[in-house]
Amino acid sequence: MTATRPPLAEGIPDRLYGRRRGHPLRPRQERLLNATLPRVRLMADEASDPLAAFAMPNASLWLEVGFGGGEHALAQVSANPDVAHIASEVFENGLCSLLARLVPEGGEETAPLPPNLRLWPQDARHLLAAMPAGALDRLFLLFPDPWPKARHAKRRFVHPALLPSVARALKPGGEWRIASDDPTYQAWVEEVMAGAEAFERVLHLTVRPEGWPGTRYEAKALREGRTPHYWVFRRR
């Protein structure tokens, strides 16, 4: 995607992520990126009116930032067919994981795709900056990279410099759902959101709430003895 990206607010780092690709892609993964992704991709020129990319003009709009393997995003798409979903991920192997669940092998170019799903394979912050104010009804940030080293704290999506952009994109009453299994990130969420005047905390649990589909990262954390925390913050 070569379109000009909306500028980010001062104080926000250029990127929040590391590498875009892990192990070399297999032929099936290459076909998914080349043939399937363009069919479900939200284009940059659609970001200023994202609902227009769906045949759902009056739908609620949900965005998941960093969907990982896609388990949560696809479960929400299936369980909420009347909601328009945008799932964002820059890691190519994660994109392939989700796309492989959408289409069978051999159907990369022709298999039907969910009408209520679009993918944003770029930095989600540029999408937030391009959206009209109050576009989102719900935002998900589930088990993000904690960037545990102090010098990398600026790369965390939960960041004071990014809160105005999130608050602008969420409509009043909209939800921001956050989950993390990392103690450093958990403490960071508490610290940053305590000073976020645009948000009120309405939930904080250490057991996954009803209606929150699980992810592979949550399962790994539980296997390894870490306790995930789950928050809901409401836009005032």
| Catalytic residue list | 145
Single-letter code of the amino acid located at 194: A
Q: Is 41 left (phi over 0), alpha (psi -120 to 50) or beta?
A: beta
Give how far Cα 232 sits from Cα of 12, 154, 181, 215, Å: 23, 22, 15, 17
**Cα separation of 8 and 25, whole Å?**
31
Structural tokens at position 50: 């994202």
DSSP 155-166: G-SS-TTTHHHH
The owner of tokens 């790369």 is: 155
**Cα separation of 198 and 210, whole Å?**
25
